[in-house]
Structure formats: C-alpha cells, structure tokens
Amino acid sequence: MAWSEKSGKNSWRVRYERDDGTLDSMSGFTSEEAAGEMVSRLNREATMRGYVPTASSQPFGGWIDPWFGSIDVADATRAQYRSLTRNHIEPRWGSVPFNVISNIDAHTWAIKLRNHGLADSTVKTIMKILTMMLADAADEGIIPASPIQARRRGRRRQQRKPAVVLATALDVLRIALQATALAGEWAAILIISAAYTGARWGELTGLQRTNIHLDDGCFVIDPDIGALHEVDGKLTLGPPKTVSSARTVTLPPFLTDMWRYLLDLHDHPHLFVSRDLQLLRRSNFSRRVMRPASDGNLKLINPRVRTQPIRGGLVFHGLRHSHNTWLIGDGIPEVGRARRLGHQIPEKVREIYDHMAPEVEAKILTSLQQRWQNSLAAQFPNGLHSTEQNHLFALVT
C-alpha cells in the first residue's frame, strides 16, 4: 500500500508498506502528479505480487462516509462536521493508511492549523471529529486503538475571547431606526425584539402566530418547532438550542403594541418575514441590515441608504447579551434572568422561584418599559405622540 504526502513547499514524498509490514519512503518528487504516478506504480506492483492489505493499512478516507452514516447528531452539527472534514481532515488524512496516523503527527497538524490562522475553537472541533472517527474505527476492530491521546504537556493557551460588544437602549433604538431605512419596519422591530426579550435569532425568526399571545403579553417557544434552523441552505423548523430554551417569554407593553402592528401588516404564519414575505436568513440579515445599521457605511460610495456608525462590532447575538446586562443592572436575580433567557435552572431552585416569579416578571417588564421610554426621550427630546410611538418606524420609511 503506497500513498503520497507533501514534505515541503514544493516537494512531495511517497511512503509505502513493504511486504514484511515495515514502512519505507521515496523523496524528491517536485509535483503531486509525479508522486501520484509512483504511488500508482507501487500499488500495481504490490497487487501483482499478491499483496493483501490488512484493514489497518487501508486509507483513512474510506472510513469517512461509513462513519458519517453511523452518527446520530442534529442536522446543523452534521453539516458542521461534514464541512470541517471536507475542508481539513480529508485533504490531510484521506489517503493515509490508518496504521500510519500517529499521535504526534495529529497534534503537529493541529498546531499548523492554528498557525495558519484557524480559530482555536475550530481546531479543537476538527481534532474532536478526527478523534471520534479513530475511536470508532478502533471499536470496529479496524485498528487496535485510537492513536490520538490528550496532550499532557505544552504551553497553556491564554487566548482571550473577543469581548462581546454590548448595546445600550439608546443604541438599539438608533440602530433600529437605521435598519428601517435599510430594509423596512420588520427589521427594526426584529432588532428591538431581540434586545428586549433576549430571544435568540432562530427563536424569533421561527416564531409563528399560533405561539404569540398578545392579549396575555407573551409568546411561547415550542419545544419541537420553536426555532428556525438553516442547514446546507435549507430552512426548517426544529427544537430550540436546549431543552431549557423551550419557555414562555413576557413582552413589555410597547413591544406588544409593535408586534400587533407588525402582524397586521401581513398574513404570513411567521411574525418576522422579509418585505417579500420570505423566511429570514441570518447571513443575509447580517450583511444587508445588521452590519450597516450598527457599523455604519461611511466607507461606501453612494450607498442606497447612508448610515452612521452607532455601535461598531455589535452582532445580533450581542443583543441577547445586552438584554442580560440590562437585567443585571436592574437588579433582576440570577434565576429570573436564567428563566427568561432559557438557561438551565436546578429543579429545587425552580420550585422556590415559582413562588416569587410574578413579582420578578413584573419588575422585568417595568424596567424594560422604562428603558424604552428613556431611549425615546433621549432620541426625541421634543417628544412623540402616543400614536407615533406605536408606528415609530413608519416615520422614517
């Protein structure tokens, strides 16, 4: 069994297994094609000699499709694993026999991936996938044991996570006003909703009329179809991120009015849809609305809509973090914040909280309503009529 691998910037080598099971190599190939021709020649000669490869000498790439067929994961997770395997694992290890993959080679490769600019979290996921593949190969008897072991030495990485950009209530209002000019009222109300409910992108874009109860001032995130997922370009409804994410979220009065106004503008089953009544895609919204509305587009020449920088670097998920920060500033207890955001709460704590929940919810809504009123007063010091507040974003279209 022979295979080729890159050994330098412009050089390749051929490695092959002798009939006695030992490994040897030939170097000095100046192109991948030349190395490939030698691989084909060696494999033909081995076949003519009657060489029968063992399972562990088979190329790792032949295990990829069977392995993917055996795992039971969410569609989004499968798509991520497929992408990382296709772009990183298969090009490096696809033609390499199982019994040649070593612990040190795998970790050296991981270091190279980091040095080439891949995020540490991405490299960790890549190594996780490769480790799972090899562990399952060992379970199937293809190899005696997985060659990859956890590192016991090496420098401790002190990589700091990028700081999350947060927004004030006034920032949110100003960003929403610019989003209206960019895409329409629905975009503005979506941004406002994320900031004042703490709901995730998929929870809001997947929200349907049947789960909105404006007379009660709340909405429900369904445990089975409570989130919109995009996998390989296809939009589908499915469960929210975690079991705890299925919850009921209350709305401050001003947002109840906005949602009622928005629902009257269209008859689509979903609350948040584009101007042409299409389900929303995160990347499109980020590129066309969120980025120019928060970062501004002063560097663009003659854009259709000129926008000013409000809070550079703010992403949609940052609105959820901002919401949590607001609640902290308003003195909302941790369990109240966890319940609103859909974080897991220990059962004993939940039982205690249930007795005080109405008081906490009332405080949350009062605080959020006040933040909204304060942002309006700061943005419009001369004031707005009550009817104008309900249709605020129509004023700038």
Strands (E), 212-257: 212-213, 218-220, 227-231, 234-238, 248-250
pLDDT at 22: 67
Q: What is the pLDDT of residue 3?
A: 74
For residue 200, the 8-state DSSP code is -
**Band (183; pLDDT cuts 50, 70, 90):** very high
**Over the stretch 341-393, which tens digit does the pLDDT of each residue have?**
998 877 666 666 666 678 899 999 999 999 999 999 999 888 765 544 545 55
Average pLDDT of the chain? 86
Helix count and strand count (H, E) for the chain:
16, 8
Instruction: Say whether pLDDT at 325 is over 70.
Output: yes
Looking at the chain, the whole-number percentage of residues with pLDDT higher than 70 is 85
pTM of the model: 0.73
Query: Which pLDDT score is estimated for 204?
Result: 98
Tell me what pLDDT residue 396 has: 44
- More confident site: 194 or 358: 194
Q: Report, as an integer, the average pLDDT of 180-186.
A: 94
Is residue 19 scored above 70 in pLDDT? Answer: no
- pLDDT computed for residue 358 by the predictor: 84
**String of DSSP letters for 177-198:** HHHHHHH-HHHHHHHHHHHHH-
DSSP string, 135-171: HHHHHTTSSSS-S-----SSPPP-PPPPPPP---HHH
The whole-angstrom distance between residue 336's C-alpha and the CA centroid of its chain comes to 26
CA 348 from centre of chain: 32
Residue 295's pLDDT is 97
For 25-77, the pLDDT digits (tens) are 777 677 788 777 777 776 776 666 554 456 667 888 889 999 999 998 888 88
**Residue 100: per-residue pLDDT:** 83
Residue 380 in 3-state DSSP?
A: coil
**CA angle in degrees (0–180, nearest 5) for 191-197-198:** 85
User: Is residue 18 very low, low, confident or very high in pLDDT (cuts 50, 70, 90)?
Assistant: low
Among candidate residues 226, 202, 194, 207, the one with its CA nearest the CA of residue 324: 194
Q: Render pLDDT for 273-324 as a digit per residue (tens, 0 to 9).
A: 999 999 999 999 999 999 999 999 999 999 999 999 999 999 999 999 999 9
pLDDT score, position 188: 96
Q: What angle do CA 343, 347, 348 make, to 5 degrees?
A: 125
Q: What is the mean pLDDT of residues 264-269?
A: 96
Q: What is the DSSP string of 92-119?
A: HHTTSBGGG--HHHHHHHHHHHHHTT--
Per-residue pLDDT band for 154 (boundaries 50, 70, 90) equals low
Q: Look at residue 357 in the predicted model and tell me its pLDDT.
A: 78
pLDDT at 161 over 90: no
Predicted confidence at residue 353, as pLDDT, reads 60
Whether the per-residue pLDDT at 340 is higher than 70: the answer is yes
Lowest mean pLDDT among 3-7, 77-81, 104-108, 351-355: 351-355
CB atoms within 10 A of CB 43: 16
Q: What is the dihedral of CA 313, 316, 318, 321, to 10 degrees?
A: 170
Confidence of residue 397 (pLDDT cuts 50, 70, 90): very low
pLDDT at 159 over 70: no
Of 289, 327, 264, give the one whose Cα is nearest residue 190: 289
